[in-house]
Structure 1
Amino acid sequence: MSGIAKTPEPPYYAVIFSSQRTEGDRGYGIMADKMVELASQQKGFLGVESARDKGLGITVSYWDSLESIKDWKENSVHKVAQDKGKTEWYKKFSLRVCKVERHNFFEM
């Protein structure tokens, strides 16, 4: 997962997940990679962008509909990751769902 996601013409939806991690990995890296792979196989998935420094991580996933986002939230493997996130991996996090109505891209 690198670079800027190539998304279709709006409208579509963005799920913005911002987090602060606990110390240590405890399987986080493997699960994060697995979630990106699994999400990319879900109906309605359009792309993902992610960045993390020592204190803050931000992952933005793009979806074609609110229904697709709901289906991803309810995915059984994703639910396992959500539970581990709350009990082991995150000090705190926020999740925001936004409708993208306009976008612009620049590439040199």
Structure 2
Amino acid sequence: MELKKPYYAVIFTSLRTDGDQGYAEMAEEMESLAKKQTGFLEMESARDGLGITVSYWESLEAIADWKANMDHRQAQKNGIKTWYTWYKVRICRVEREYEFNK
């Protein structure tokens, strides 16, 4: 899907602790909740040791609203306490994109 530019990407990279400990269920809930958030565009995720989730947003305000969401805030606290040994968040403005698709 071609997104109207510019838009913003939140890049969340992480290293997980061992075991699930409720992580998969919470990740599914957070994706479902994010999709209902005003300004959400789409999300991509991959995990093979290093986890990478990129969510795309219409504006910085939409990102701030998502960060402030109470359920999301609780998931963040759980992440620090239980699920992650390390994470980094980057917020980028996307002005150009291209892709290959066979």
Q: Place the TM-score, normalised by the shorter chain, in its bin.
A: over 0.9
- Sort the Cα spacing of 1:90 and 1:48 in 2 relative to 1 into closer, same or farther, 3 A: same
Question: In the alignment, which residue of structure 2 is the partner of 1:67?
Answer: 61
Question: In the alignment, which residue of structure 2 is the partner of 1:3?
Answer: none
Q: Gaps spanning 5+ residues in structure 2: where?
A: none
Letter in 1 for 2:18: E
Distance 1:23 1:49 in 2: 23
Distance 1:82 1:94 in 2: 12
Distance 2:43 2:4 in 1: 16
Number of residue equivalences: 102
| Contact 1:17-1:60 within 8 A present in 2 as well | yes
TM-superposed CA distance for 1:105, in Å, is 2.5
Please point out which of 48, 68, 74 is paired with 1:80: 74
Which stretches of structure 1, 4 residues or more, deviate above 3 A after TM superposition?
A: none
Please point out which of 8, 12, 16 is paired with 2:7: 12
Q: TM-score, normalised by structure 1?
A: 0.91
TM-superposed CA distance for 1:106, in Å, is 2.6
The 5-angstrom pairing of residues 38-49 of structure 1 reads 38-49=33-44
Query: What root-mean-square deviation, in Å, do the aligned CA atoms of Structure 1 and Structure 2 show?
Result: 0.8
Question: In the alignment, which residue of structure 2 is the partner of 1:100?
Answer: 94
TM-superposed CA distance for 1:99, in Å, is 0.2
For residues 15-69 of structure 1, the C-alpha deviation after alignment (integer angstroms, 9 at most, x for no partner) is 000000001111000000110000000000000000001x210000000000000
| Contact 1:12-1:64 within 8 A present in 2 as well | yes
- Sort the Cα spacing of 1:43 and 1:75 in 2 relative to 1 into closer, same or farther, 3 A: same
Identity %: 56
Distance 1:46 1:7 in 2: 10
Question: In the alignment, which residue of structure 1 is the partner of 2:46?
Answer: 51
